Amino acid sequence: MRVFDELCPAPPHWGLDWARIRDAFGWVRDMAGVPQDAVFHGEGDVETHTRMACEALAELPRWRARPHAERVRLFATVLMHDIAKPHCTAIDGDGRITARGHSRRGDLMVRRILWELDAPVAWREHVAALIRHHQVPFWALERPDLQQIAFRVSLLARNDDLVLLASADILGRVCPDTAELLENVGLYGEYCAEQGCLDGPRAFSSDHARFWYFRKPGRDPGYAAYDDTRLTATVLSGLPGVGKDHWIAANRPDVPVVSLDRLRAELGVSPAGDQRAVAAAAHELAREHLRAGRSFVWNATNVSRTQREACTGLIAGYRGRVEVVALEAPPRVVRDRNRGRSSPVPDEVIDRLVGRWETPDPTEAHRVHWLTTA
């Protein structure tokens, strides 16, 4: 991306122009003055730590050896890795400064920012996945779900990128356990190499094997699950105005559709109103198709993983093959299309949806398609 390309440290001097970076991004300026735990961040506020982490990245030989495009993407990731701390930082009762949840919230914030900057979807999701998991390598070997996390990162980004991000994060702080944390990060990299997911996606014997591996904790990733699916359910995901109805008409014209918009109209429920009756009706209609072994399309916004899980879990229980189609359009296009609808969704509802938008990933379905409609 051009904006990060222009600011990324480059040979021969690999210098970081922090003044230009501050001028370019309001979210960087928002980090100024945000306190951190003095024990583990003796360097000072979040902005200071972020600058030091970027400087540390620029000094890493492994980063310098990467192709230019990969260096830029990693630089953007390090620059944004603590973007949510201004919104998550709190001081607890005993005076301890914490920023609980900043990795997950950072994922959501980065997705919106990069969407508004018109970043390519795969590029954006690579960065967002690294930010969501940027603390994992610090204590990875203590996590019972480490294998699933490492595999998920490999499917969305790269674990060797996560190692570089975590290394820069540690080297960009003043703390008493730097050596221990760097050792842990190194061990995480070795673990990923042993698991076949360090610098590329973890391979599975089939999409069905991958789907069920992520649905059943403790499942052997090498198990070649027998594919007993009896129908295909296409679950759409996308903001209002991305063109879901048009996609269905062009790509699934003869397939039954569970449409939440249609159910809202039938039930007289506003998009801004209580959606529980609409969701219940949609699930009952879906069950009718599933019991009949009939393929169908589930047409809803489904912007969060939790919402999609309510659909995909039901489908999986009826031995359905899950196909997720994630549709996107630039912000301006989404707004213009929505305003042109006969029943536009209120802008504040769209803003709320964007705020909890999690792009579907390959761990959620047999197949996931990322499509841009404009």
Q: How confident is the model at residue 42 (pLDDT cuts 50, 70, 90)?
A: very high
Q: Are residues 120 and 13 in the same domain?
A: yes
Specify whether 188 is located in the same domain as 235. no
Q: What is the pLDDT of residue 342?
A: 85
238 shares a domain with 183: no
- Ranges of beta strands (E only) in the chain are 90-91, 97-98, 231-237, 257-259, 296-299, 320-328, 367-372
pLDDT tens across 283-305, in order?
Answer: 999 999 999 999 999 999 999 99
166 pLDDT above the threshold of 90? yes
CA atoms within 13 Å, Cβ hemisphere of 356: 13
pTM: predicted TM-score of the whole model, two decimal places: 0.96
Tokens read off for 260: 């939440």
Please give the average per-residue pLDDT across 7-25, as a whole number: 98
Q: Tell me if 26 is assigned to some domain.
A: yes
DSSP string, 33-45: T----TTT-TT-S
Q: Which CATH number covers residue 110?
A: 1.10.3210
Report d(CA 187, CA 181) in Å as an integer.
10
Q: Round the average pLDDT of the chain to a whole number and report it.
A: 96
Can you read off the two tokens belonging to residue 334?
């989404």
pLDDT band at 27 (very low <50, low <70, confident <90, very high): very high
Tens-place pLDDT, residues 208-243? 999 999 999 999 999 999 999 999 999 999 999 999
Range of the domain at 272: 231-372
pLDDT at site 76: 98
**Number of other CB atoms surrounding residue 43 within 10 Å:** 17
Task: Specify whether 175 is located in the same domain as 301.
Answer: no
pLDDT at 72: 98
Q: How many angstroms separate the CA atoms of 144 and 354, rounded? A: 32
- Please report, for residues 38, 48, 275, 298, the alpha-carbon distance to residue 97 in angstroms, rounded to integers and kept in the order given: 8, 16, 38, 44
Query: Residue 206: inside a domain, yes or no?
Result: no
pLDDT band at 272 (very low <50, low <70, confident <90, very high): confident
Residue 190 lies in a domain: yes
Instruction: For residue 29, tell me if it sits in a domain.
Output: yes
Same domain? For 82 and 127 the reply is yes
pLDDT of residue 141: 85
Name the band, by pLDDT with cuts 50, 70 and 90, for residue 343: confident
Domain final position from 194, 217, 240? 194
Pairing type for strands 320-328 and 97-98 reads unpaired
Instruction: Say yes or no: 181 and 294 in one domain.
Output: no
The mean pLDDT value for 327-339 works out to 96
296-299 and 257-259 strand pairing: parallel
Q: How many domains, in total, are found in the chain?
A: 2
Tens of pLDDT, residue by residue over 71-129, are 999 999 999 999 999 999 999 988 899 999 999 999 999 999 999 999 999 999 999 99
Chain centroid to Cα 336, Å, comes to 26
Q: What is the pLDDT of residues 118-136, one digit of tens each?
A: 999 999 999 999 999 999 9
Question: Which residue type does 370 have?
Answer: W
Would you place residue 148 in the very low, low, confident or very high pLDDT band (cuts 50, 70, 90)?
A: very high
Q: How much of the chain, in percent, has pLDDT values that exceed 90?
A: 94
Looking at the fold, whether 24 and 135 belong to one and the same domain comes out as yes
In a domain, 210, yes or no: no
Q: Looking at residue 107, what is its pLDDT?
A: 98
Residue 221 lies in a domain: no
Residue 203 forms part of a structural domain: no
* Tokens standing for residue 265: 């109209």
Please report, for the domain that includes residue 304, its CATH number: 3.40.50.300
pLDDT tens, residue by residue, 180-206 = 999 999 999 999 999 999 999 999 999
The stretch 153-176 carries a mean pLDDT of 98
